[in-house]
Structure 1
């Protein structure tokens, strides 16, 4: 009998995330996942019943991490809070790629996947509320340009997350550079 090694749920979700980012939802399947794990394919089913459950759990795990880090942001200084939030989002920038495929998950196939996707939607709403609150505070304190509508400022800020780190800087430095460019622009 061949050697059987069990892997943890965390290891399984780490590999799932990596493969989803490489292959997308449509290219991800349980056979591919099992090929990248050391151990029996049947171990996957100890944790999840199907593809939908695995992908939804992977997304939920990332959302939980983002929400936890966002909750730790000190909102006393609105500009410092925005800079901290940007770092949290840049740190998990690939989450947006994962979320792009969220609509493909058939929640009718799994109650667990439906719960996880509901959690993700709720988390997304909570993050939007937090970001809106911090922006409103920064705007009320006169820290933001009054001639640029707040929704436009938020949109541009949020899209900084998807800016490729072409300089391959450490994430904290990269997010500070992005924040500085957003706040000051690039004009002389």
Structure 2
């Protein structure tokens, strides 16, 4: 009869995600993770061989969450779709931090980590394609400026995610507030 695990894989990944967000990928290590989980550190190895595998699994799980939510966005009205996507990105704001770290994962340490990182980057291309498609539709409809390259509009759009929520609004309200500012501008009409 096998020994009962002290925590589930989801609990491990939840804790790892929280620690990576709090400390950053570079400061994340299995000793830190083990100190925040019940039971022996060796239990981590029942799921993952090393830090890279844990981090890559956390990144993939966050990307899948964002991809599922983004996939439910109705793209018929490009402006509403962009607003919905910003809400998704704000709800999954940690993903933005993980994506910056995805290329830091030492994929030479593990085929499993390499596969997860490759899947994360592939899913990122899918999200980027969705965003480009929506921006293109909005420009064709004339609902956003067509004299500004989509890349510039999308880059500025993504920077909204990094805007500190100084008003401490719920994420969807903060997203709507920033979207209105981005879309309508800050000048008097």
Judge same fold: TM > 0.5, yes or no.
yes
Map 1:11-50; keep pairs closer than 5 Å: 11-50=11-50
What is the TM-score with the length of structure 1 in the denominator?
0.94
Map 1:90-169; keep pairs closer than 5 Å: 90-169=90-169
Q: Check conservation: 2:132, 2:150, Cα contact below 8 A.
A: no
* Deviating more after overlay: 42-51 vs 20-29: 20-29
Aligned residue for 2:166, secondary structure, equals coil
Residue 130 of structure 1 and its aligned partner are, at CA, apart by 0.3
How far apart are the structure 1 equivalents of 2:176 and 2:58? 28
Aligned residue for 2:119, secondary structure, equals helix
Aligned residue pairs total 185
Q: Cα RMSD (Å) of the superposition?
A: 1.3
Residue 173 of structure 1 and its aligned partner are, at CA, apart by 0.6
Deviation digits for residues 14-44 of structure 1 (CA, Å, limit 9, x no counterpart): 1101111122122111111100011221211
What is the TM-score with the length of structure 2 in the denominator?
0.94
Residue 151 of structure 1 and its aligned partner are, at CA, apart by 2.3
Matched, 1:10 2:10: yes
Aligned residue for 2:7, secondary structure, equals coil
Q: Check conservation: 2:57, 2:113, Cα contact below 8 A.
A: yes
How far apart are the structure 2 equivalents of 1:168 and 1:87? 15
Q: Check conservation: 1:5, 1:38, Cα contact below 8 A.
A: no
Q: Check conservation: 1:108, 1:114, Cα contact below 8 A.
A: yes
> Which residue number in structure 2 is paired with residue 76 of structure 1?
76
Aligned residue for 1:25, secondary structure, equals coil
How far apart are the structure 1 equivalents of 2:95 and 2:186? 28
> Which residue number in structure 1 is paired with residue 88 of structure 2?
88
How far apart are the structure 1 equivalents of 2:18 and 2:12? 10
> Which residue number in structure 2 is paired with residue 172 of structure 1?
172
Residue 53 of structure 1 and its aligned partner are, at CA, apart by 0.3
How far apart are the structure 2 equivalents of 1:184 and 1:38? 50
* Deviating more after overlay: 104-113 vs 91-100: 91-100
Structure 1: where are the runs of 5+ without partners? none
* Deviating more after overlay: 33-42 vs 60-69: 33-42
Deviation digits for residues 83-102 of structure 1 (CA, Å, limit 9, x no counterpart): 00011111111222222222
